[in-house]
Structure 1
Amino acid sequence: MTKEINSAIKDQMTTVDQTVIEFKNVYKSFGNNAVLRGINLSVKKGENLVILGRSGSGKSIAIKCLVGLIKTDKGKILVSGTDITQLNESELNTIRRRVGFLFQNGALYDSMTVRENLTFTLAHNNKELTADEVESSVVESLENVGLAEAINQMPSELSGGMRKRVGLARALIIKPEIILYDEPTSGLDPITSREIIELILEIQKKFKTTSIIITHDLACAKLTGNNVMIIKDGVIHAEGNYESLSNSNDKWVRSFLT
């Protein structure tokens, strides 16, 4: 099954205008709290999809469902045509190796240097690399985010923006086809936020990644999103580019973006 998944994904990813990610009527509740109430969305190859919504609206839950960290109650989640809700843990890990995840706080291991954080991730995903190949990949990933000089530093020595960059380097080191960004500019000053936004755009252009960006930052949404969706009451309430949503006839949508 794992080989079949790998083959299917590779074949599908070569298709022009391929839909890489698709949610079909996805539901998720926690006890009596219904968070996702029939989410439908799709993301095409090379596209940045921004998902907006109030706190607790289910944005982060949706992307955790996408990589199987949280199990859905109902519905399908397709990654390059494979329904991940039907996979076992081993098969899910095959999908996860193609997905980079930038967590809200960077989620670095505090007891490891920057080099060790990246090495650990790469070794976990590819056990066949030589030490020289691992080191080369670590340096390359840090260069891609402009932080090669931080390779021997500890996370505690880094600023918030630098930790986000290292987190992004760690996501990039596995050469993902998909990147999931969870509040990439949260807690950053405006200048550093702009740098992260520019980096997201550079990565999309250079690596042709397909991405979902969860954010409360309207500047981030406006600048990075090829498509923008707004979650309300557990469903996609509005969809379009940022400009069209800003001029929507729906007063709630307009108010959300101001």
Structure 2
Amino acid sequence: METMAKNTLKTGEHPNHQPLIMFKEVYKSFGANNVLNGISFSVNKGENLIILGRSGSGKSVAVKCLVGLTKADKGEITVMGKDVTKLNEQELNQIRMKIGFLFQNGALYDSMTVRQNLAFTLEHNNRNLSKAEVDTAILEALTNVGLADAIDKMPSELSGGMRKRIGLARALIIKPEIIIYDEPTAGLDAITAREIIELIRSIKVKYNATSIIITHDLTCAKYTGDRIIVLKDGIIKAEGSYDDIENNTDEWIKSFFQK
């Protein structure tokens, strides 16, 4: 991984200075379990924000609140200028249609071919496309992740890394304004993880994508993130560049870097 250049944005140096996402004092509890405890952060246009934390830190709950799958108990979550905590289901769906997701396991429909998986997502978002337009979009998305030759394969025929790539093609096919990556390198060998990291970096450049990357993988954080926030017990423990986080003197944060 030494040959890969790090992103070098420092805290406050955000591309274009246009926040697309803002959390303001967001709280979420499940019974007596306080998962989010007043977190505040923003994601700017063209930025890759890493949310780093161990299991149970609140990373996934924050994203579920972002897209309205879970309702925050308190606070504001603004996405593309709209407070999602105040939207109805129809309005939330309009927001969701502009967000691409790469789920941890790829989340492909096992009974559908790769072509059918991508077509289903595209047609769900835009029902007015012709068959030719759908076919062109599918081929373009698969080409962008290097798997055009897998178009008629079943998910069971794909490796874990290939499933991640197809999942990413499915996220890209709707031309999203925001991409959310959920543990994109989890469960992959080092070589395949590196390929996914390179793909995330290239997508940022090609699509000018605005992304949230949920991970506990320091290598992924180092090479894909412009900025990192570290969550612990539902609070933001640290924020900054990878170097800022690595040089943090807090003992708990230092433990991330101890082998």
Shift of 1:249: 2.3
1:115 aligns with 2:135: no
Could you say which residue in structure 1 is the equivalent of 2:20? 20
Larger RCO (alpha carbons 8 Å, 6+ apart): 2
Equivalent pairs counted in the alignment come to: 244
Could you say which residue in structure 1 is the equivalent of 2:242? 242
Aligned-partner SS, 2:106: coil
| Structure 1 segment 188-203 matched on structure 2, within 5 A | 188-203=188-203
**How far apart in 1 are the matches of 2:87 and 2:182?**
24
Deviates more, 1:103-112 or 1:66-75: 66-75
C-alpha contact (below 8 Å) 2:56/2:233 kept by paired residues: no
1:170 aligns with 2:165: no
1:37 aligns with 2:28: no
**How far apart in 1 are the matches of 2:158 and 2:188?**
13
Could you say which residue in structure 1 is the equivalent of 2:140? 140
Shift of 1:38: 0.7
**How far apart in 2 are the matches of 1:36 and 1:63?**
11
**How far apart in 2 are the matches of 1:85 and 1:146?**
38
| Structure 1 segment 217-256 matched on structure 2, within 5 A | 217-256=217-256
Deviation digits for residues 53-94 of structure 1 (CA, Å, limit 9, x no counterpart): 111111011111111111111111101221011000110111
Shift of 1:31: 1.2
**How far apart in 2 are the matches of 1:257 and 1:201?**
23
Aligned AA for 1:106? G
Please give the TM-score of this superposition, normalised by the length of structure 1: 0.93
Shift of 1:250: 1.7
**How far apart in 2 are the matches of 1:205 and 1:216?**
23
Q: Which runs of 5+ in 1 are unaligned?
A: 1-14
1:49 aligns with 2:49: yes
**How far apart in 2 are the matches of 1:232 and 1:160?**
29
**How far apart in 2 are the matches of 1:244 and 1:172?**
31
Deviation digits for residues 207-243 of structure 1 (CA, Å, limit 9, x no counterpart): 0010000011110001011001100121111000011
RMSD (Å) for aligned C-alpha atoms: 1.0
**How far apart in 2 are the matches of 1:16 and 1:110?**
40
Same amino acid, percent of matched pairs: 67
Could you say which residue in structure 1 is the equivalent of 2:7? none
Aligned AA for 1:98? K
Please give the TM-score of this superposition, normalised by the length of structure 2: 0.92
Could you say which residue in structure 2 is the equivalent of 1:257? 257
**How far apart in 1 are the matches of 2:177 and 2:159?**
28
Q: Which runs of 5+ in 2 are unaligned?
A: 1-14
